[in-house]
Structure formats: C-alpha cells, structure tokens
Copies of this chain bind each other. A is one copy, B any other.
Amino acid sequence: MNSAVLRLRPLGIDTHREFVIYMRRDCHVCRAEGFQAQTRVQVTLGKRRIIATLNVIDSDILALDEASLSASGWPALGAAPGDEVDVSHAPTVDSLSSMRAKVYGHRLDAPALKAIIGDVAAGRYSDIHIAAFLSACAGGRMDLQETIDLTRAMVDVGDRIDWGRSPIADKHCVGGLPGNRTTPIVVAIAVAAGLTMPKTSSRAITSPAGTADVMETLTRVDLDLPQMRKVVEREGGCFVWGGSLSLSPADDILIRVERPLDIDSDAQLVASVLSKKIAAGATHALIDIPVGPTAKVRSDEDAARLQTLLEQVASAHGILLRVVRTHGTQPVGRGIGPALEAHDVLAVLRGAASAPVDLRMRSLALAGELLEFCGHSLPGTGHSEAWRLLDSGAAWDKFQAICEAQGGLRTPGVAALRSPIVAERSGYVAGIDSRRLARVAKLAGAPDAATAGLELHVGLGDPVERGQPLFTLHAQAPGELTYAKEYLGTHPIITLGDEVAR
C-alpha cells in the first residue's frame, strides 16, 4: 500500500468539523484499495494523521492523482495545497466493541472508557458512532463508578494545568436558563477580592449563547496555554474559550454531536463539567443549578440527584465542590444571545441605572458564596463583601484589566434587523417558556450571528397593555428573522393571564 499517494488540491468545501476526503472514483488508490463513498480512511502527512470519511468524485473537479480535504481537515493535518498525502484504510477501532456493549446495556470499566475516549479524541469515531455512544450513556445508564471513570478518561486524554498554589476558584452553571450570564461578573468580583480564578468556558451547546460566545464579543478568548498563564499571573484571572486549549479535548468532540442531538445526560454533563475543571487545575468549584419548569433541571429531585453525582465524582477526583440551587422560573437579564447578554453584563459591572436587577442579585449571591467557599470571607460575610467590590468599581476595574491583558476590551455590536413582538391582549405575564425562548433566539441566528437573539421587555407578573412590546427579535439575516417569526406563530413564548402570576 506504499503507492497510495495523492496530491492535495483545495476545493473550499466546509463540512463544519467533520473530516472529509475527496478522491476520484477512478483514481489508482480507490481502485487498488477498493474504497467506496463513506469508507473511513487514514490520511497521513509526515508525522500527522487524521481519519476522514471518503466522498467519491465522478467529475473533473479533481485530477486522477489529486485529493482534497474539507476545510477542517487542512489545519488538523497541517496541510498546504500541493502536499502529498498517503491514504490507507482506517485501522480497526477496537473500542467500538465496548461502545456496542454499552448500547446493549452492559457497564463499562475504566480501561474500556479510557479506550473509547482516547479514540474519540483521536478522531477515530465517526459522528454516528459518537451519537450511539452518547445515546447509550443517557437516561441514567451510567452508574457512579462509570461516571468517575469517564471523567478521569476525559481528563487524562488532554493536558492538565498545575497552578502551583491553592485555592484555584472555578464556577459553572449547568445551564438551561437563557440570559443567566453571571460568570463574567462573578469572576470580576472574585479576582478583585484577590482570588485566583483562571476561568475557561465553553461555547453554546444547545443554548443561544455560551459564556465563551458572550465574552468573545468583549475581548479575545482564543488564548493558548502560555498566553492564558501570562494573563492569570498578571491579573489573577482570565476569560478563555476552553476549546482553544487542550483541556479535556474529547469533550469538545462529544459536544459537537450533542448539539444537533440536543441530548445532555447527567453522566455526560458531570463528566464534561468536572473534567474541564480538573484539567484546568481548579481546587474549588462552585456549581449553579437553576431549577424550574422549563430550565434544564426541572425539579428539586432532579437537582438533588445531579448534586449528589457532582459531589461524589468531584470527591473521587479530590476537588472541593459546592452546589447552589437558584430559581429557574424565568430568564435572567434582558438580552438572550452573545452580544445582547454582553450588554447586560457591562451594565451590571458599570453600575448603570439600567442594569438588570435579577442578573446583579444572582451574581452577587454566587460571588458571595464563592468568597466564603474559598476562605476569603468568613461565613455570613461573603455577600456584603461581594456587594462592596461591585459597587466600589473594583470588579469593573478588574474586568477591564483582564480584558486589556487578553488583547483589549471591545464594544459588542448591535443587530442590523430588529422586530418587536407585541401583546395581542392586555393582562399579566403568567408564564415565560425558557425552552421556546432559547429556540427562537437560535432561529434568529444566535450564537453564530453574535448580535442575534432577543431582548425581553417584561418579566413574570408584569402587567401589559394590548400592543405593548413583549420582546424584540434581533437578527442579521432577513431569512432568520422570518424563520423566528414563523416559529412564534405556532409556538407562543409568553402566556398572558387575567390574574397576577406568582
């Protein structure tokens, strides 16, 4: 198989993050190797190799001795046009038999999970294989030891930062509540208090914005490890997108498939959250679990189960963890979408009169809890200390200093298209469906269009008049605006009642 060499020619085909190789059906490699469309092949260039899915070409867009890669394949392989690659059958992926065992309901031991996560991180699993694995692990089908082992496997496959000191503070929200963007504010307060908080965040999985998406409208977030270290040594904290580091790299690949599936299981959630925290070197992790009928966690029983699992897995890995349950009955702040949420965060940090009170109060409560948890404040005094650091401007100064260290503070943009949605009758706001709200913001273009999303003008219990704007859609593309409106036509978000809702 030493003659399986083809020259790379760019075709400019973007398949998102899946690696695809394009080869002529009648080229010598396809004929000699018996390759067909969808064959999984190994592509080697020097010391780098990727596993790609084959798409077969029956036209002249490639010559017989040429191949092409999808956009994500070029950087992964470090390839340039004209490079010669070696193409062979992908090696047998032995861990797939463990994946199948899980599908059939068997439990997996630590070596099996290590092998699966190793193969996922190396790109040896196709999206179909990953989807089957995620599905097999959902619905309570991973026991405690499996979740501990999965977490360890996810940590071990990537880098792990050692900060050489303690405490290292971290904070995470399990999500499900649109607009609940407390992280930038909590970090600013905690670091202003003198804590070390090297915060890595993810982009949105199933929501209209992740913390990394929001922070990217304010500063550069794709720092590498040395750059991140420099910022933290100088300022005590940072806001970095975890995906640009090699912390729990399998997690990013799993998330790519979770997103279209819209599946997020307890075990996967715990392993995802804690593997990132452990790899980032955290010693103290504060976890915010919003509970509400349309949040990700819907009942106190579910929250208790998740809390127990988080505590047990954290304990097995030797990190301290504290859970704070918060109300999840309605969105937080006004904006939903990266830039819109960034505007809310700035308003709170600056102490603007227009700052959303709910976002401010939640951030202060979490920051106070964190100050006590990490031993900075005595029990009972963390909340007032957080209040002082925010209102004195110390947190805002620290936030600006961190952003400057990361490359400068930017002003988030505003969407080109805005369309208010008005009340069709008078009454009181009786309910806000967070899931539909998130969906509408995504249909409007968030998070890929950073300025897209929606801006809420009312909260639960507010009286409204017929014709009064309930919220405003923000979009960059007319098609997306139309699509969000069409969805709203059949899926109302805000329920109006005649009585004041509790």
Contact residues in B for A487 (Cβ distance below 8 Å):
92
A12: CB under 8 A from chain B?
A: yes
The 8 Å CB contact of A448, one of B22, B34, B449, is B34
Chain B nearest Cβ from A251, distance in angstroms: 17
How many residues on A have C-beta within 8 angstroms of the other chain's C-beta atoms?
Answer: 69
Q: Is the CB of B449 within 8 A of A105?
A: no
Q: With an 8 A cutoff between CB atoms, is A56 at the interface?
A: yes
A4 within 8 A of B: yes
Q: Are A128 and B127 in contact (CB under 8 A)?
A: yes
Closest to A91 in B: B486
Given A134-B132, A260-B38, A260-B126, answer yes or no on A105-B479 (Cβ-Cβ < 8 Å).
no
Flag if A477 contacts B32 (CB, 8 Å): yes
A13 part of interface (Cβ distance < 8 Å): yes
Rounded to whole angstroms, the CA-CA distance of A482 and B29 in the bound complex is 13
Q: Are A449 and B34 in contact (CB under 8 A)?
A: yes
A135 interface residue per 8 A CB criterion: yes
Each complex incorporates copies of this chain amounting to: 2
Least Cβ–Cβ distance between A282 and chain B, in angstroms: 29
Say whether B14 contacts A132, CB under 8 Å: no
Contact check: which of B14, B37, B133, B257 meets A16 at CB < 8 Å?
B37
CB distance from A156 to the nearest CB of B (A): 25
**A34-B139 contact given A15-B55, A262-B100, CB 8 Å threshold:** no
CB of A140 within 8 Å of the partner chain: yes
Q: 1/0 per residue A256-295: CB within 8 Å of B? A: 0100111101000000000000000000000000000000
Q: Which of A20-43 contact B (CB under 8 A)?
A: 22, 25, 29, 31-34, 36-38
Partner of A13, one of B16, B22, B38, B135: B22
Interchain CA distance A186-B168 in the complex, whole Å: 72
Contacts of A25 in B (CB 8 A): 14
A443 nearest in chain B by CB position: B89
14 additional A-B pairs beyond A29-B479, A34-B448, A103-B263, beta carbons within 8 Å, are A4-B479, A12-B57, A13-B22, A13-B57, A13-B58, A14-B55, A15-B38, A16-B36, A16-B37, A33-B480, A104-B138, A104-B265, A128-B260, A131-B132
